[in-house]
Chains A and B, each alone.
Chain A
Amino acid sequence: MLNFNFLANVPLIWAKVIVLILFAVIFILVWLLPMDYIYKGAPDRKLIRNLKLWATLLVILYGFLYVHF
């Protein structure tokens, strides 16, 4: 069990699927955060300071890697 033998027969593609699901969960959770929390401390509420958009860009970038490789 310590070696995760019970996952030995799981096709390798499922590793990718799990990672992509993790990215999707991160994306959803970030978008559920209140905007006040996101902008807390920011000098203004310009779109460029919306950290949800930053997080979205990161999820897309890293998601591309795990789809491709």
Chain B
Amino acid sequence: MSLSGIDFFIVLLYLGGMLFLGSFFKKYVHSSQDYFLGGKMLPFWAIGMSIVVSDIGAIDFVGATGQAYRYGLVVANFDWIGSMPAMMLAAFIFIPYYWRAGVYTIPEYLGKRYNDSVRTIEALIWVVFMAFNLGIIFWASAVLLNTLMGWSIGVSLMVTAIVVGFYTVSGGLSAVVMTDVVQMIIMFVGGFAVIFLGLWKLGGWSGLVEKIHALGPQYSAHFTLFLPTNTTTPYPWTGILFGLTFVLAPAYFIGNQAIVQRTLGARDEWNAKAGVLWGSFFKFFIPALIVLPGLIALPLFPGLTNGDEAFPMLIRHLLPPGLTGLVFAAFFAALMSSVDSYLNSAATLWTKDIYQKFIKKDADDRHLLRMGRLFTVVFLIIGVATAPLNKLFPGMYVYVQTLLSFFQGPTLAILLLGMLWSRITQWGGLAGLGAGVCFSVAMYIFKGNLFTIDDPFLYISWWSFLGAAIVTVLVSYFSSPEPLEKLHGLVYRLVTKDDDVQQLIQNRLNHD
């Protein structure tokens, strides 16, 4: 499809604005803390909006819309029941303790709570995942830009990499978070323009419901949030509840570095907690942007063999000139907000958990700042260089997501138990992590024999979480308890006086 002049102008204006805004924050970066944690000055409203927009990528606009086209409103569970309870848990239990512990990364917390082996395993998993995911995001977005805007794959890759790389390298987390705020506003304006025009064409919400039900009995469950256990879709209610609500969502909101890092940069503990709750408020509206368009596309373009065509079809046939440019800007915003978050977080993990820990232990702060910027560039290059691999291996996205899912349940198990129970030991955590990953891999290999649905990732995450938790508890009981002074400030309610906590943290930092 071709863009009109006004559309191109809007897209270019957006890209230029992002470059300007992002580079503005360069003058505030003087130390590694400024670069990785935004100088610990971030306000709650920016943290919340950044969390939400980092979670929604350009792929979601197409992929989630396609899923909604096929399966209906059940997909919205990923942003509703799959966010609010987990974000409450994060805001009121985990984030305050991460923030008080003064850590830069989740593996760093795990290293303090358990041992360096757990820290290193977790850091390497996340670095590898983020590096490959960058390539996947770059490739998927370049293909979409090629389809939608007619740009060549190479131009699409370069434009995205240069703009995002420039402001992420120069401004660090502050630039990432503040550009995320603007990107979220653009995403919401562009997204709501699509659903407003779509609903207007279909005669409002009641018209949408009526027209989808008129398509046939196979669409009768398109407006329900829960599907029976014998559904052929990947979303039975038991999977949504046990796999998504109890495991994947908490693992994401308390264990994903790209999400948690914003809260660690909060100006104080209240802003850290409030930021997560503020993000949960905006999560309420996300299905309107990425699920509702799929439902709107169903009666407008019934019979699409590939649901992922739903969103491009809406853009092509629904939007007038000017608004098309705005939606493209929203698409860019979704793409860039994910890339900048992964870049910054991958560089933070590598610098703090691998480079400073194993390669240059005596590095001073200026050196770490330089290395942080250098590693951001390196990850950017890795992302762009590995992007074409997706053409050679089309199933790469699934493989990488599957690889991460092996670790989600076990990681949540050791995070939860480690935070809430002082009796859990370092050997329990290490054994639980290892055993949980083995459970996941075994269940994935034998999924055809064990499960009745095609893609049982929700069930696998639940059972691997449970297996990891049992092993963690059992091994902890057979090993010596951790000394209390090691656990102070790292386990919920172990220390009630904040002055004591700060003193213990200071002692520990001096010791490290």
Measured CB to CB, the residues of A under 8 A from B are: 2-5, 7-8, 12, 15-16, 18-19, 22-23, 26, 30, 33, 37, 39-42, 49, 51, 54-55, 57-59, 61-62, 65-66, 69
Contacts and interface: CB of A to CB of B under 8 A. Distances in A.
A15 B237 contact: yes
B502 interface: no
A15 B84 contact: no
B229 interface: yes
Contacts of A22: 85, 245
Given A51-B91, A55-B88, A58-B280, A41 B459 contact: no
Contact of B226 (A4, A16, A55): A16
Contacts of B237: 12, 15
Contacts of B230: 8
A51 B273 contact: yes
Interface of B: 73, 80-81, 84-85, 88, 91-92, 96, 223-226, 228-230, 236-242, 245, 268-274, 277-278, 280-281, 284, 443, 450-453, 456, 459, 463, 498
Given A12-B237, A66-B225, 19 more contacts: A2-B451, A2-B459, A3-B229, A7-B238, A12-B228, A15-B241, A16-B225, A39-B270, A42-B268, A42-B270, A51-B273, A55-B88, A58-B84, A61-B281, A61-B284, A62-B84, A65-B284, A69-B73, A69-B223
Contact of B80 (A4, A7, A65): A65
20 contacts: A2-B443, A4-B229, A4-B239, A4-B242, A8-B230, A30-B88, A39-B270, A40-B498, A54-B277, A54-B278, A55-B277, A57-B281, A58-B84, A58-B88, A61-B281, A62-B84, A66-B80, A66-B81, A66-B225, A69-B224
Contacts of A69: 73, 223-225
Contacts of B280: 58
Nearest to A65: B80
A19 B85 CA distance: 10
B451 A40 contact: no
B394 to A, nearest CB: 29
B81 to A, nearest CB: 6
Contacts of A8: 228-230
Nearest to A64: B284
Contacts of B456: 3
A66 B84 CA distance: 12
A4 B281 contact: no
B92 A5 contact: no
Contacts of A16: 225-226
Given A39-B270, A42-B270, A18 B459 contact: no
A4 B245 CA distance: 15
Contacts of B270: 39-42, 49, 51
- The interface centre, meaning the residue of B226, B241, B245, B281 with most chain A CB atoms within 10 A of its CB, is B226
A2 B73 CA distance: 25
